[in-house]
């Protein structure tokens, strides 16, 4: 094999998911995304309860339930949503960087997953520690800010998934030979 043949760029079209694989990944993605939205709504309800009630046992129960959600459910759901979305974008003609709405969803999902790990979970843990020590809830923002931001981001991502606004990116406009799945 000569050097020119070995270093020739691959001109084959990228490999796509088959119909049943695409549908399976789509079901996983939609389901986990809905779960993430629901968990955020549940966290918001628990945070609002903790921030507005005057009963110490209710505050403690609310923040402990928030910790359970944050520790056991949020991160696996977030990672599965991110992974399934990435697989869908790379395994279909939508592509990761061909359409602005897909690109925006990817970065928002990555940002909210990161915020879950580095902001929401530590805030919930701090609230549980403070309340378990017999003190009051440190700050209502500790239990409300994360869920409000998350819920807003997930609703926004749901809207752009349905409406598919903004058209193609510069990269997507260069490659106009394929059409996305309907």
Asked if residue 140 belongs to a domain, the reply is: yes
Q: Number of folded domains in the chain?
A: 1
Strand, helix or coil for residue 17: coil
Asked if residue 119 belongs to a domain, the reply is: yes
Query: What pTM did the predictor assign?
Result: 0.83
Strand, helix or coil for residue 181: coil
Report the alpha-carbon distance of residue 165 to residue 63 in Å, rounded: 38
Asked if residue 10 belongs to a domain, the reply is: no
Report the alpha-carbon distance of residue 181 to residue 160 in Å, rounded: 16
Domain range for 77: 20-165
Give 147-168 pLDDT, tens digit per residue. Answer: 999 999 999 999 999 999 988 8
Asked if residue 3 belongs to a domain, the reply is: no
Asked if residue 45 belongs to a domain, the reply is: yes
- How is 29-80 classified by DSSP, letter by letter? HHHHHHHHHHHHHHHHHHHHHHHH---HHHHHHHHHHHHHIIIIIIHHHHHH
Asked if residue 172 belongs to a domain, the reply is: no
Asked if residue 53 belongs to a domain, the reply is: yes
Give 1-47 pLDDT, tens digit per residue. Answer: 555 555 555 555 567 889 999 999 999 999 999 999 999 999 999 99
Stretch 71-91: mean pLDDT:
95
Give 108-123 pLDDT, tens digit per residue. Answer: 999 999 999 999 999 9
Asked if residue 175 belongs to a domain, the reply is: no
């Amino acid at each position: 094999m000569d050097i020119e043949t070995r270093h020739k760029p691959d001109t084959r079209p990228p490999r796509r998911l088959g119909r049943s694989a695409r549908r399976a990944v789509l079901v996983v993605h939609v389901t986990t995304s809905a779960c993430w939205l629901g968990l955020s709504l549940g966290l918001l309800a628990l945070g609002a309860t903790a921030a507005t009630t005057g009963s110490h046992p209710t505050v403690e129960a609310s923040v402990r339930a928030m910790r359970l959600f944050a520790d056991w459910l949020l991160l696996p759901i977030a990672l599965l949503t991110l992974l399934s979305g990435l697989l869908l974008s790379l395994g279909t003609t939508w592509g990761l960087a061909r359409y602005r709405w897909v690109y925006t969803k990817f970065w928002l999902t990555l940002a909210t997953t990161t915020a879950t790990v580095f902001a929401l979970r530590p805030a919930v843990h701090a609230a549980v520690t403070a309340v378990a020590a017999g003190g009051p809830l440190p700050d209502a923002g500790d239990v409300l800010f994360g869920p409000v931001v998350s819920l807003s981001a997930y609703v926004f991502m749901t809207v752009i998934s349905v409406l598919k606004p903004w058209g193609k990116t510069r990269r997507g406009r260069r490659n106009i030979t394929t059409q996305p799945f309907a």
